[in-house]
Amino acid sequence: MALVEIRDVRKSFGQVEVLKGVSLDVEEGEIVTIIGRSGSGKSTLLRCINALETVNSGTITVEGQRVSTGMANLRQFRQRVGIVFQAFNLFPHLTVEKNITLAPLLTKKIGKGEARALAQDVLGRVGLTDKIDAWPEQLSGGQQQRVAIARCLAMAPHLMLFDEVTSALDPELVGEVLKVMEDMARQGMTMVLVTHEMGFARNVANKIVFMHQGKVWEEGPPEKLFADPRTPELRSFINSVK
Amino acid sequence: MRSFSLIDLVSLVYALQWTVLLVLLALAFGAPLALLLATARTSRFAALRWLAAAVIQLIQGVPLLGLLFFFYFGMPVFLDLQVPALVAVGVAYTLYTAGFLGDIWRGGIQAVKPAQWEAGACLGLSAWQQFRHIIGPQALRLSLPPTVGFLVQLIKGTSLASIVGFVELARAGQVASAATFQPLLTYSLVAAIYFALCLPLTLWSRSLEARLNGAR
Amino acid sequence: MNFQQLWRYQDQLVEGTLITLALTLIAACAGLAIGVLGAALLRSGSRPVRLAIRSYIEIIRNTPSLIQIFLIFFVLPSFGLKLPAFEAAAVALSLYFGAYAIEIVRAGLESIPPSQIEAGQCLGLTRWQVFRHVVLPPALRNVYPAFTSQFTLLLLGTSLASQVAAGELFHAGSFIESRTYRSFEVYAVICAIYFAMVMAFKAVFAVIGVLAFRWPVRR
């Protein structure tokens, strides 16, 4: 059984149907990259996986558990599924350490000393150990995004979702964030990303999913998909982002 | 003791004219002074800024009732002659208006981005021309909602003139209440009249603010 | 001018000041409680409840506090509820401050972008934990200036309680005036004491602000 199983998911906002029957599997350890034009439903799909949105029909299961905004152990579920946003969403009033340790302290009841060690550990993994006592506002966008990733890692998630995490960054800061994500991929983290970084999609992902008009238009390994797109929509998309 | 009658209602409405007069007086003299304070508060000269800040702080740091009594009893002491009560009270409301509006307009001036001054300077305008044609209009737009909000505060504030003996709306209410022994009716009526005066202004201020936020 | 005579009334001035402070702090605390409760109900209450709260806010904000104090003091007795002057003034000023506090608390909660709440939820925090640790601290900071200036207006507004003889500072002033006939001097001193209190609170609030809100913010 796949870690994430999405079956015929439909989702509308008011009159607009954003997801029109999406099915997708994510195996454990797999790196799945969702690409497509804006408005194709990529981000909505990601938000549905984390139960930030309720689907209108169809099912999403993660680790065999049916996902919905009303699920019984929603909070425990979210502790196992980390999500990183385009806008970082760090808490401005907490230091880097406190941003990272807030949830472990409150939900896992770890000790203060243990929390500090945890913060140091995950900051090491994103290369920011020296910023442990900084305030979010004192960091560059790239650094803030790496702290946001570390904050997720501190919960030891089984699955990580990335929603256009480099889109709000200055071009020269994109690389440092992608490098952190590459390291995580190498260490075997299961990841689902929505991104415009085609280089990353090509080199790191196991599977590319091209979404178009609320549907999975094409999917497959990157080498095949990029070299030999079957549909004119994917072909024109690849040409437009080259 | 007599019952509340039409006469009492008329006396309340009649007293309204004093309320309106006090508000107009306060605005007529207070607004120019407020403009002076606001420009001084944002001036290039530190001494002017400090002086204006001190004046504003002083006015905002004492009760309106205190201001009223201070000038009501103080004017004869300062000037060594009796002045009409309206003058003394008028001075108090003028300063009150100047202090609060001056601070509100100061905020408006400072909310205009510094680049706007620079842009004006780059066009070769004098400091006054920059203020008059570039900063002032923008500051006015920004500070209009709180200015209207202050107007409500001022109208409510005129009720205090009753305490030094003016037969404005609040005082007329007291008189009617004492004569008729119907405090609930009279004070509710007085409150309703103030409410009818203030609510439109409050709503206007809010819609101005919403429009301003929408425009950003 | 002659301030000498006033020295004899030190005790009255001190007592009046203390009563003013008590009145201010009671109204501030009770008003803040009304503010939190009212803002919560405005967010999640039923339509009639929200309408009732909105009406309360508009009535208080658009009528003079003096009339509000009179209504509580002179009118409640006709319903068989006779409050002493101090209590009546405390109730009136609490209701007055509460109306502004609701607006302030509401603005504070609305100043927090939904994405922050979402980020907290995604970390598996409970609703209360999100409110307490994610929403509340920055919200407090955002409305702290509005709260402190409203507090100052409340402190100065307690002077109106003198009109029902609540025994606070301004009332002490009228008492001393009636004994000394030094009207101008008395009210000059009274104003100075109010001013000193306002400045002292300003300093205290500034210190609390610096200690409580240490994180840098983007300008």
- A48-86: pLDDT as tens digits: 999 999 999 999 999 999 998 888 889 999 999 999 999
> Is the residue at B98 inside a domain?
yes
What is the 8-class DSSP label of residue A25?
E
Contact map slice: C 138-157 vs A, CB within 8 A = 138, 141
Q: What is the pLDDT of residue B177?
A: 75
Q: What is the pLDDT of residue B125?
A: 82
- Residue B12: pLDDT over 80: no
Residues, chain B, total? Answer: 216
Do B and C have ≥3 inter-chain CB pairs under 8 A?
yes
- Residue B215: pLDDT over 80: no
> Is the residue at B185 inside a domain?
no
Chains touching chain A through at least 3 C-beta pairs below 8 angstroms are: C
Mean pLDDT within B5-12: 73
- B71-117 pLDDT, tens digit each: 988 887 777 778 888 888 999 999 999 999 999 999 999 988 888 88
Mean pLDDT within A96-100: 96
Q: What is the pLDDT of residue A57?
A: 93
Mean pLDDT within C95-114: 95
On average, the pLDDT of chain B sits at: 87
Task: Please name the member of B157, B184, B198 whose beta carbon is closest to the beta carbon of C62.
Answer: B198
d(CA B93, CA B27): 9
Q: What is the pTM (predicted TM-score) of this model?
A: 0.86
- B104-157 pLDDT, tens digit each: 999 999 988 888 888 888 887 888 888 888 888 889 889 999 999 999 999 999
Q: What is the pLDDT of residue C131?
A: 92
- A115-126 pLDDT, tens digit each: 999 999 999 999
> Is the residue at C219 inside a domain?
no
β-bridge pairing A16-26 and A190-194: unpaired
On average, the pLDDT of chain C sits at: 92
> Is the residue at C17 inside a domain?
yes
Q: Measure CA of the first residue to CA of the last residue in chain C; give whole Å.
A: 50
Domain at B154, CATH number: 1.10.3720.10
Confirm or reject contact between C129 and chain A (CB < 8 A): yes
d(CA B193, CA B169): 9
> Is the residue at C217 inside a domain?
no
Provide the residue range defining the domain that includes C68.
Answer: 9-212
Chain A nearest-CA distance from C133, in A, is 8
- Residue B10: pLDDT over 80: no
Banded model confidence at residue C219, pLDDT cuts 50, 70, 90: low
Which 3 state secondary structure label does DSSP give A4? strand
> Is the residue at C4 inside a domain?
no
Does the distance separating the beta carbons of C170 and B199 come in below 8 Å? no
Mean pLDDT within C81-94: 92
Is pLDDT larger for residue B44 or for residue B3? B44
> Is the residue at B62 inside a domain?
yes
- How large a percentage of chain A has pLDDT more than 90? 79
Provide the residue range defining the domain that includes B148.
Answer: 19-169
**CATH assignment, A4-241:** 3.40.50.300
- Residue C114: pLDDT over 80: yes
What backbone phi and psi angles, to 5 degrees, belong to B135? Answer: -75, -50
- B187-210 pLDDT, tens digit each: 888 899 999 999 999 999 999 988
- Residue B216: pLDDT over 60: no
Banded model confidence at residue B2, pLDDT cuts 50, 70, 90: low
For chain A, domain boundaries: 4-241
> What Rg do the C-alpha atoms of chain B give, in angstroms?
21
| Total number of domains constituting chain B | 1
| Total number of domains constituting chain C | 1
Task: Please name the member of C115, C124, C217 whose beta carbon is closest to the beta carbon of A79.
Answer: C124
Domain at C44, CATH number: 1.10.3720.10
Partners of A190 in beta bridges: A159
- Name the amino acid, one letter, at B17: Q
Q: What is the pLDDT of residue A123?
A: 96
On average, the pLDDT of chain A sits at: 92
- Opening angle at CA B199, ends B193 and B203, nearest 5: 170
- Residue B32: pLDDT over 60: yes
What backbone phi and psi angles, to 5 degrees, belong to A192? Answer: -120, 125
Which residues in chain C touch residue A92, judged by CB atoms under 8 angstroms apart? 138, 215, 217
> Is the residue at B192 inside a domain?
no
Q: What is the pLDDT of residue C123?
A: 93
- How large a percentage of chain C has pLDDT more than 90? 74
- ipTM score here? 0.89
d(CA A193, CA C136): 31
